């Protein structure tokens, strides 16, 4: 049976709930985003390869060893960036700094691929978690980043500043000129900004889910963290995704700033379900559960993901994207790693590509997870 789905694009970000430290709400922006419509064809035909078999084992802390679900992964012959009917894609770019410095054609291939194949991917949104350039004082690198990102300017997307984007003495000057509020404020998905896009949020409705994507750049101040917290509280009914540059170390410990984000935002935000970061080397997915209403039962699952291939061999990362295909009908998120430059899935499934900077389980390149916000809704009913 076919049914039609209206997708309204706006801008999103999430955070908030209970912790030992009470955060006081501060004045939040009152955006009035426009709306655009996209019609997507949906079928009720099951996607057998994505059906979950059993929920993943619960872990008590974000530093536990990553354990992707045992949900069957599509076979090599079934792998495809083409999304089936009823499935939409959220794409993720992280740490493209060496492409801007040495391999510009790789960066162009990544964003050009997303622009060219947006329809067959049912591409709904694109995330960039920073380090657009390696040397913030090199205009040539900024030119590459600007050109690459301009290829997807008309697709709902968000970007933040990594540490290499804001090195002193330049600081946020060039980032704000090229990727500040002016570039995005007229986009219908853009919700609002913190200090000229040092942070921002996007509101977008995809399928049957109202999303809130919240971004904050490197080295946040207390005021910046409070702003993010307030945005999540302002939109409590939206599915929140927090996009950062620095959150984990490559040994899967929370970084200094990561601990601030975790303890003051992730723990206290009942509508926050995913945290995405880059910065350090690795590709991980860490599950953590929370008892938001303090009734002794875990009632919220948060997936905290790191994705950064910049030190993978000597090509700046091979042009790999993280593609997250979301199937709402069956409550699954299928994550794959794909390079349009190499036309290759999963870099580290080839032993010749193993690198000492990436001592992780190859299952963290491709996995299926139950959608925690759909799971929570089902359990509450």
Q: Position of tokens 């939040």?
A: 28
Tell which residue, 24, 369, 78, 50, has the closest CA to residue 223: 24
Average pLDDT (202-220) is 97
pLDDT > 50? residue 160:
yes
pLDDT grade, residue 357 (50/70/90)?
low
- What the block records as the tokens of 209 is 């889910």
pTM of the entire predicted model: 0.81
Q: Give the residue with greater pLDDT, 305 vs 354.
A: 305
Q: What is the pLDDT of residue 361?
A: 64
For the chain, the C-alpha Rg in angstroms (whole number) is: 19
Domains by residue range for the chain, with CATH: 2-19+80-380 (3.60.21.10)
Note the pLDDT tens digit of each residue in 58-76: 333 334 444 454 455 555 4
The chain-wide mean pLDDT, for the chain, equals 82
Q: What is the pLDDT of residue 36?
A: 34
Within 10 A of 307 (CB to CB), how many other CB atoms are there? Answer: 24
Question: Are the C-beta atoms of residues 375 and 339 closer than 8 Å to each other?
Answer: no
Tokens standing for 315? Answer: 């090509």
Residue 226 in tokens: 């409070």
Angstrom distances, CA of residue 38 to CA of 9, 76, 90 = 8, 31, 15
Q: Looking at the predicted structure, is the pLDDT value of residue 350 above 90?
A: no
For residue 56, the Cα-to-chain-centroid distance in whole angstroms is 21
Give the Cα separation of 348 and 284 in Å (integer): 13
d(CA 321, CA 216) in angstroms, rounded, equals 21
81-94 confidence digits (pLDDT tens): 999 999 999 999 99
The residue that leads in pLDDT, 148 or 49, is 148
**What pLDDT, in 10s, does the model give residues 174-203?**
999 999 999 999 999 999 999 999 999 999
Beta strands at 87-93 and 321-327: parallel, antiparallel or unpaired: antiparallel
Rounded Cα gap, residues 187 and 193, in angstroms: 13
The residues pairing with 90 across neighbouring beta strands, listed in sequence order, are 125, 324
């Amino acid at each position: 049976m076919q049914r039609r789905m209206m997708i309204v694009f706006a801008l999103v970000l999430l955070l908030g709930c209970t912790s030992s430290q009470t955060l006081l709400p501060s004045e939040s922006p009152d955006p009035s985003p426009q709306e655009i419509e996209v019609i997507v064809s949906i079928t009720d035909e099951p996607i057998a390869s994505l059906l979950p078999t059993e929920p993943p084992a619960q872990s008590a802390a974000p530093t536990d060893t990553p354990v992707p679900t045992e949900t069957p992964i599509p076979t090599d012959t079934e792998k495809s960036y083409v999304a089936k009917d009823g499935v939409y894609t959220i794409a993720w770019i992280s740490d493209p700094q060496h492409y801007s410095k040495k391999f510009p054609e790789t960066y162009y291939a990544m964003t050009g691929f997303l622009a060219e194949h947006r329809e067959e991917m049912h591409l709904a949104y694109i995330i960039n978690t920073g380090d657009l350039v390696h040397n913030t004082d090199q205009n040539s690198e900024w030119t590459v980043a600007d050109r690459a990102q301009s290829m997807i300017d008309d697709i709902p997307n968000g970007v933040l500043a990594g540490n290499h984007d804001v090195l002193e003495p330049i600081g946020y000057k060039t980032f704000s000129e090229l990727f500040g509020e002016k570039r995005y404020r007229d986009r219908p998905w853009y919700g609002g900004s913190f200090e000229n896009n040092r942070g921002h949020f996007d509101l977008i409705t995809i399928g049957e889910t109202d999303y809130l994507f919240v971004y904050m750049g490197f080295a946040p101040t207390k005021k910046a963290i409070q702003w993010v917290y307030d945005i999540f509280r302002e939109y409590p009914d939206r599915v929140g995704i927090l996009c950062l540059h620095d959150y984990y170390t490559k040994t899967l410990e929370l970084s200094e700033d990561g601990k601030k984000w975790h303890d003051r935002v992730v723990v206290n935000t009942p509508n926050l379900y995913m945290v995405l970061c880059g910065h350090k080397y690795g590709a991980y997915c860490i599950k953590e559960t929370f008892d938001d209403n303090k009734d002794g039962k875990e009632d919220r699952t948060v997936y905290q993901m790191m994705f950064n291939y910049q030190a993978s061999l000597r090509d700046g990362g091979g042009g790999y994207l993280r593609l997250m295909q979301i199937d709402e009908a069956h409550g699954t998120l299928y994550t794959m790693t794909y390079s349009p430059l190499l036309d290759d899935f999963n870099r580290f499934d080839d032993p010749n590509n193993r690198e000492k900077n990436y001592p992780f389980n190859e299952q963290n390149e491709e996995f299926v997870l139950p959608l925690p916000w759909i799971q929570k809704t089902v359990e509450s009913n």
